[in-house]
Structure 1
Amino acid sequence: MSLHKDLELRSAVLCLSQKEKDKLLIRLINKDKMLLKQLHYQLLENEYDLENRIEYLKEKLKGLFHDTARQVSNSASFSNYKSLNNILRQASGLINEHEKVTKDKFSTAECRLFILVYPYQQYPVLYQKSHLQAATKLHKYIITRIKTTYNNIMALHEDLQFDLQENTSILEEIKESLDNTTT
């Protein structure tokens, strides 16, 4: 149950002393790690910290894909499809966390583009038609991520869209390629 639905509890909480409310607030914040990160960002960080966060995320994503070179090769095998799918999901999770904390749409779109374009350029064989179920699963996941990313890009200001135009055209190429594999 939420506090805004239980008006009696809400009024009781509002009647608490400031000291008691502060204690409760601190206890509640400690229970939710995402809320803790969001508050830290909103209250203690500035635009330079955002730039550092973006650079850190980009480096983490590059490191993740650098590590994939040991796990994934450019050949159509079950393990390669599965590994790439897992890595894309992990990278997407990192970006989702960044988006929830910072609410920065441009860097989120930019990083989403990176995780979709980079593997396409590195492992083109994995984007071709295959009879393996793991390939179908990977392709469906990528198509869904492309649609979401494309919508996020279209929600940006046109100047920002222009900055992402090169990778957006590659995104369309990926989608066309994968549309041919799922039909």
Structure 2
Amino acid sequence: MSLHKNPTLKEAVLHLPQKEKDKLLVRLVGKDKMLMKQLHYQLLEDQIDLEQRIETLKNTLTELFADSRTTLKNIPIYSHYKTLQALLRQASGLINEHEKVTKDKFSELECRIYILKEAFERYPRLFEKSAIHTASKLQEYTKSRVKTTVNKFDKLHEDFQFDLREDMEKLLTFAGDHALI
């Protein structure tokens, strides 16, 4: 049950003694891992830590794509479509977590563009038309990722857009050529 749906409970919590509220807060925060990460970032980290988080995320994404070379080839077969979609989902999950914790829109978008560009450059044949059902699933997933990335790019400040424009144009050219827009 949400606290917003129960205003009497909300009022009761707000009228608790400060010491009691502090105990409850610490217990509740301990039960939600994402909230713990967000609070840790907000309360204990600074700009240097953000830069380190961004660098770690970029390295992790680079390693994901490097590790995929052994299991994923640019050959349009069932398992490669499935593996690439799983790779993109995993990478997107890492980026989603980074954004939820840091609220840094620029690095989020930069990493989203990176994973799409990597997929397009390394595995272009997997985005060609195919009668295989997993190919269409991969392409639908990629379409939604491209759409999300374009929307986030459009909302970004024009100075930041300038920094990402070249990569974004490459991404959109490939997506347009392969009917992913």
Structure 2 partner of 1:8: 8
Structure 1 partner of 2:89: 89
- How far residue 4 of structure 1 moved from its aligned partner, in angstroms, is 2.7
Structure 1 partner of 2:75: 75
Q: Which amino acid is the alignment partner of residue 11 of structure 1?
A: E
- How far residue 34 of structure 1 moved from its aligned partner, in angstroms, is 0.5
Q: 1:19, 1:97 → 2: CA distance? A: 32
- How far residue 70 of structure 1 moved from its aligned partner, in angstroms, is 0.9
Q: 2:113, 2:148 → 1: CA distance? A: 11
What value does the CA root-mean-square deviation take over the aligned residues? 1.3
Structure 2 partner of 1:55: 55
Q: 2:94, 2:6 → 1: CA distance? A: 35
Q: Which amino acid is the alignment partner of residue 65 of structure 2?
A: F
Structure 2 partner of 1:42: 42
For structure 1, the residue ranges without an aligned partner over 5 or more in a row are none
- How far residue 14 of structure 1 moved from its aligned partner, in angstroms, is 1.7
- How far residue 159 of structure 1 moved from its aligned partner, in angstroms, is 1.2
- How far residue 5 of structure 1 moved from its aligned partner, in angstroms, is 2.8
Structure 1 partner of 2:20: 20
Number of residue equivalences: 181
Structure 1 partner of 2:169: 169
Which aligned segments of 4 or more residues in structure 1 are displaced greater than 4 angstroms? none
What TM-score results when the alignment is normalised by the length of structure 2? 0.96
Matches of residues 62-141 of structure 1 in structure 2 within 5 Å? Answer: 62-141=62-141
- How far residue 92 of structure 1 moved from its aligned partner, in angstroms, is 0.2
Superimposed CA distance per residue, residues 134-157 of structure 1 (whole angstroms, 9 cap, x where no aligned partner): 110001111110010011011111
**Contact 1:143 1:178 (8 Å CA) reproduced:** no
Q: 1:77, 1:55 → 2: CA distance? A: 34
Superimposed CA distance per residue, residues 68-102 of structure 1 (whole angstroms, 9 cap, x where no aligned partner): 10110010100000000000000000000000000
Structure 1 partner of 2:148: 148
SS at match of 1:179: coil
**Percent identity of paired positions between Structure 1 and Structure 2:** 55
Q: Which amino acid is the alignment partner of residue 144 of structure 2?
A: T
Give the stretch that moved more between structures: 155-164 or 7-16: 7-16
- How far residue 7 of structure 1 moved from its aligned partner, in angstroms, is 2.1
What TM-score results when the alignment is normalised by the length of structure 1? 0.95
Q: 1:88, 1:171 → 2: CA distance? A: 15
Q: 1:110, 1:159 → 2: CA distance? A: 14
For structure 2, the residue ranges without an aligned partner over 5 or more in a row are none
- How far residue 10 of structure 1 moved from its aligned partner, in angstroms, is 1.5
- How far residue 64 of structure 1 moved from its aligned partner, in angstroms, is 0.6
